Amino acid sequence: MITAIVGTQWGDEGKGRICHYEAQNASMVIRCAGGNNAGHTVVYEGEKYALHLLPSSIINPYVLSVIGTGTVIDPKALIEEIESLRKKGVAITSDNLVISNRAHVIMDIHIILDKVMETIRENEKIGTTGKGIGPAYSDKASRINIRMCDLVGDYESLKKKISLIVKTHKAFLESVGCMTYHNKNVVKKLADEYYEYGKKLAEFVKDTKPIIYKCKKEGGNIIMEGAQSTFLDIDQGSYPDVTSSSCIASGCCSGAGIGITQVNEVIGVMKAYTSRVGEGPFPTEQKNEIGNRIRFLGNEYGTTTGRPRRCGWLDLVMISDAVELNGCTALALNHLDTIGKFDEIKVCCGYNYHGEFIQYVPVDHENCKPCYETLKGGWNTEGATTLEEIGEDAVKFVKLIEEYTETPVVYIGIGPDASQIIIR
Ligand code: GDP
Ligand code: IMO
Ligand code: MG
C-alpha cells in the first residue's frame, strides 16, 4: 500500500501530525521534496517536535525514514536537526534513517543568493524562508549543483564541482557588493567544509532505489510525506509566490522514485480555515479582528521562521482544486476545535471573477472575490471521539466540505496532540 500525504492550501495544514499518525502502520516514510523550509509539528506523549527535513516518522524507531531524491539538503542544518532530536532522546541511526545519494545539496552560497534575490526584488518580495531553496533548485535545473553522493565521494571531484558553482555566481554576487566568494582559497575551504559534513552523514547516504523496490516487493506500507503545498507548487501554485519544488502528489512520486500507478491513496491535508506565510494572493484573508483571532486561537506562527501567519476563512474552491490536482482519495481536516470557537463561520464556495461566478483557481487568483456561505459554529470538541458527539453544526460543516469536494474526510483534528484526532 502506497499513500501520499499532501497539503491542499498554502502549507502548514498539519501534514506532519497526519503523517506521524499514518506512520504507525508503515514500514517506510519518504520525504519527497523541499528542504528545511518545511516545518512539520508533531505533538506526541507530551513532547513537541518541530521537524524540518527529517520525515515526521523519525520519532518512531520502527519506521524507516527516508529523505528522498527530490529534496534539497542543507547538510549543516540536517546535522543540527539530527543532533537536537537525539538530545530529546530520539534514536537516529543508519537502521532508521536513509538519505538519498541523489538528493541535492544546499550550500551557504544558495542561502546568500536567496537573501540577495529577495533584496533585489524590493517591493515584489516572495517572503521566502531564507533557507536557500530557490537557488539550490535553480542550480539543480542548471545542472551545476552538487548532490549527496558528491559529499561522500571523491574529494577532488567535489572540489571541481564546487568550483563551477562558485564561478557561476561569483560575478553576480560581486556586482551586488557581496565579496564573500572573492577569496582565492574559497573553493578549497568550501570543499573541506562540505566534505566534513559528508563524513558526518555518510552512514545514512545510500541509493534509495533498491531499498524502496525491496519494500514494495515485500508488500510494505509506504508513506510519501509531502512538504509545502498545492498552492506553493512551482507549476500549479500562485507563481511567483511559490516555492521551487513540485509539492503535489505527482511531485511526491518523482521525488521519492515511485511510479504514479503504484499509489493507492492520496490524503489531502487541510485546515478548517486558511493560512499563508509570505507574500501572494489570498482571497479569503481577514486582515482584521477575525484574522487575529484565528491566529491567536490556532497559534498560527511559522514553525520554521516564527513569522505570524496570515489567516482567513476556509476556501473550498482551493480545496476542490487541490483535490483535482492531486487526485485526492481522502481529506484530513485539522483545527476543527479552533474554528468551532467562532459562533459564525464563513466558508468560500465560489469566486466572483471579473463579474463571472467560478469554482476553480484562475491564474490571477488576486482578482477573485470570495462568495461565502455562513454556517453556525460555537461547538466544543473536548474529549470527542466521534464527529457526531461534537454536534449537529460540526457535522454540517464537515458535510459541506465532503459534498463540495466529493471526497470523504477521514481524519478530523481536534487539537495538536497526536491523541486529539477523530478517525472515520
Ligand atoms: P505542516 O507543515 O503541514 O506539518 O503543519 P505545521 O506543523 O507547520 O502547522 C500546523 C500547526 O497546527 C502545528 O502547530 C500543529 O501542532 C497544529 N495542529 C495540527 N492539527 C491541529 C488541530 O486539529 N487542532 C489544533 N488546535 N492544532 C493543530
Ligand atoms: P510546510 O511543509 C508554509 C513559503 C514561504 C514563501 C514561499 C517560498 O511546513 O507546509 P521558499 O523558502 O520555499 O523559497 O519560500 O513558500 N513556504 C511555506 N509556507 N509552509 C511551508 O512548509 C513552506 N515552505 C515554504 O513562506 O512564501
Ligand atoms: Mg509547516
Rounded Cα distance, 316 and 27, in Å: 33
Rounded Cα distance between 38 and 36, Å, is 5
pLDDT tens track for 151-192? 999 999 999 999 999 999 999 999 998 888 888 899 999 999
Closest listed residue to residue 334, CA positions, set 404, 272, 410, 276? 272
Which pLDDT tens digit goes with each residue over 260-284?
999 999 999 999 999 999 999 999 9
Ligand nearest to the CA of 234: 2
280 CA closest ligand 2 atom index: 27
CA of 360 to the centre of ligand 1 (A): 26
Q: Which three cell numbers mark 213?
A: 523496490
pLDDT of residue 171: 92
Atom 17, ligand 1: residue with shortest CA distance: 416
Rounded-to-integer distance, Cα 50 and Cα 200, Å? 22
Q: What is the largest CA-CA distance in the chain?
A: 70
DSSP label of 285: B
Range 236-241 average pLDDT:
97
- Which grid cell is 375? 454556517
The domains of the chain, with CATH numbers, are: 104-201 (1.10.300.10), 271-424 (3.90.170.10)
Is residue 11 lining ligand 2, measured as CB closer than 6 Å?
yes
Task: Give yes or no for residue 104 CB within 6 A of ligand 1.
Answer: no
Quote the pLDDT of residue 307.
87
pLDDT recorded at residue 116:
95
What is the predicted pLDDT for the residue at 182?
83
The interaxial angle of helices 392-405 and 316-326, nearest 10 deg, is 50
Residue whose CA lies nearest to ligand 1 atom number 21: 416
pLDDT in tens, 358-392: 999 999 999 999 999 999 999 999 999 999 999 99
**Which of the 8 DSSP states describes residue 265?**
E
- Cβ–Cβ < 8 Å for 376, 343: yes
Strand partners, 34: 71
For the stretch 76-102, pLDDT in tens is: 999 999 999 999 999 999 999 999 999
- Compute the average pLDDT of residues 204-220: 98
CA–CA dist 351, 92 (Å, integer): 47
Provide the annotated active-site residues: 12, 40
Cell numbers standing for residue 248: 503535489
Of the chain, the percentage scoring pLDDT greater than 90 comes to: 96
Which three cell numbers mark 35?
A: 528542504
pLDDT in tens, 305-331: 888 999 999 999 999 999 999 999 999
Please determine, for residue 345, whether its predicted confidence score (pLDDT) is greater than 90. Answer: yes
List all residues 6 or more positions away from 58 whose beta carbon is below 8 Å from its beta carbon. 51, 65, 85, 90, 92, 96, 97
Q: Sign of the C-alpha dihedral, residues 343, 349, 352, 356?
A: negative
Q: Could you identify the atom of ligand 1 that is nearest to the CA of residue 269?
A: 3
pLDDT at residue 155 in the model: 98
- Using DSSP bridges, classify how beta strands 104-105 and 72-73 pair: parallel, antiparallel or unpaired: parallel
With a pLDDT cut of 70, the percent of the chain lying above it is 100
